[in-house]
Amino acid sequence: AQSVTQPDIHITVSEGASLELRCNYSYGATPYLFWYVQSPGQGLQLLLKYFSGDTLVQGIKGFEAEFKRSQSSFNLRKPSVHWSDAAEYFCAVGPSYNTDKLIFGTGTRLQVFP
Amino acid sequence: DVKVTQSSRYLVKRTGEKVFLECVQDMDHENMFWYRQDPGLGLRLIYFSYDVKMKEKGDIPEGYSVSREKKERFSLILESASTNQTSMYLCATVAGGPYNEQFFGPGTRLTVL
């Protein structure tokens, strides 16, 4: 069955430090992979997505992610974190069979200290 | 910009009440979804719809139903609310195609007493 694992529930970093959020997936075919961010009190917003091509994808707000098929991973990175990046981050994989369903991970909450 | 609105940001209901959560989108998207979000569990799909009057069960449909009478509107119904349905409910919409971005509403935080 398709699944997504985000092993880190909560991460704390200092402002200006680099960031890597982990995501591992289990999927039988070529996956569509997504990272969404949820700021406090808001819905989810797409940061970036990957389907094919260059395995390093750039997203909004200075984020990037790298698809590694051999490791079944799609980790999110940012070289220098800003206080406004404090939020919850969700990795997702899809589609599920012939639908547009996404499977979401359990999320990683990022806290940024000044 | 796509706009997805949900009828309430916060809602408090009593056990046994019938609860309606409404979602409206303004981009003529075919597909609409209802998720619930709980700490440590991420987003779980309740129901989705590909078109007017069409609906499909998601992963946790028990205790819920949905209605889609118009393309822009997708309603989630709790027939008899229970305390274990206290949660954040998120609506999302997407144009056809699995590679496309899902656009989310701001969510409704429902508390069932």
Of B89, B90, B104, give the one whose Cα is nearest residue B27: B104
Distance from CA of B13 to the nearest CA of A (A): 20
Reported as type and span, the H/E element at residue B22 is: strand B19-25
User: Which chain A residues are Cβ-neighbours of B90 within 8 angstroms?
Assistant: 43-44
Residue of chain A nearest B57, judged by CA positions: A101
User: Which chain A residues are Cβ-neighbours of B31 within 8 angstroms?
Assistant: 100
User: Which chain B residues are Cβ-neighbours of A21 within 8 angstroms?
Assistant: none
Strand ranges in A27-86 using DSSP code E only, listed in sequence order? 32-38, 44-50, 56-58, 64-68, 73-78
Those of residues 30-49 in A touching chain B at CB distance below 8 A are 32, 34, 36, 41-46, 49
Contact A110, A85 (CB under 8 A): yes
Taking residues B60-67, report their average pLDDT: 96
Taking residues A80-101, report their average pLDDT: 85
d(CA A103, CA A34): 10
Lowest mean pLDDT among A11-15, B41-45, B108-112: B41-45
Reported confidence tier of residue A53, pLDDT bands at 50, 70, 90: confident
User: CA-CA distances (angstroms) from residue A77 to A11, A106, B73?
Assistant: 13, 18, 36
Distance from CA of A47 to the nearest CA of B (A): 10
Query: Is a pLDDT exceeding 80 seen at residue A50?
Result: yes
d(CA B96, CA A95): 12
Reported confidence tier of residue A41, pLDDT bands at 50, 70, 90: confident
Residue A69's SS3 state is helix
Distance from CA of A97 to the nearest CA of B (A): 10
